[in-house]
Structure 1
């Protein structure tokens, strides 16, 4: 069984976000703002339903899904596209494949030791993010 993704996670590294944002069609002006944001992930599980919140001072994005069930997703506040998403477990990785206007689009979350890894990919560009879990006191471990 994969490690639990649940918790609050603070970003500690963010590689190639600009390339990924260009691939999904984010304007250069919004890219400049987004590159300065400190992201936080809040991941919850309620039975077989996952809720992943991406939180920043500019904009928040929430997705909820059940692994193995395709669903319609509107990426409001990101690139504002309608996509069909399917999230599945592939070993220790929670992987999302999104079909729509953009080719080879999706993401993967997984945990190694005390870090949450997230790869965001679209049209050959990959953004690699790493998060560190916050303690119960609100401090990053």
Structure 2
């Protein structure tokens, strides 16, 4: 099992979000809105189960999942798709693989001090976000 990511985090920076959303076929109006948002993240680890909440003034997204088990993820709130998702620890990295319509889709989280890093990928496009732990 990896490190404990539990906590509440606020966005510090992000790069390449517009290109990432375009690769997901998100329309331009919604891309502009999403790029203006400053999401918070709350992560709760409880044994082999995790909850990751991405919270914004526009829309919230909650992932509640078991580690190391494939599950159907409903991404309709994000891009209207469903995929087969597996999340597992690779050392100190929490790695998510999302198998579906889009190739090479997934993300990884890791900590550096009190900074939570998130790297999201789809079809060769990478978006990076950094969050600071506030509680």
Secondary structure of 1:35's aligned partner:
helix
Instruction: Point out where structure 2 has 5 or more consecutive residues left out of the alignment.
Output: none
Instruction: Point out where structure 1 has 5 or more consecutive residues left out of the alignment.
Output: 136-141
Range that drifts further, 45-54 or 56-65: 45-54
Do residues 101 (structure 1) and 105 (structure 2) align?
Answer: no
Please give the residue correspondences for 1:42-121 in structure 2 after superposition, counting only pairs within 5 Å: 42-121=42-121
Aligned mates of 2:122, 2:5 — CA distance in 1: 23
Q: Is the 8 A contact 1:89 1:95 kept in 2?
A: yes
Runs of 4+ aligned residues of structure 1 deviating over 3 Å after TM superposition are: none
> How far apart are 1:77 and its partner, in Å?
1.3
> How far apart are 1:46 and its partner, in Å?
2.4
TM-score of the superposition, structure 1-length normalised? 0.92
RMSD of the TM alignment (CA)? 1.0
> How far apart are 1:66 and its partner, in Å?
1.2
Secondary structure of 1:33's aligned partner:
helix
Secondary structure of 2:31's aligned partner:
helix
Aligned mates of 1:62, 1:14 — CA distance in 2: 20
Q: How many residues align?
A: 135
Counterpart residue number, 1:16: 16
Counterpart residue number, 1:41: 41
Aligned mates of 1:24, 1:51 — CA distance in 2: 23
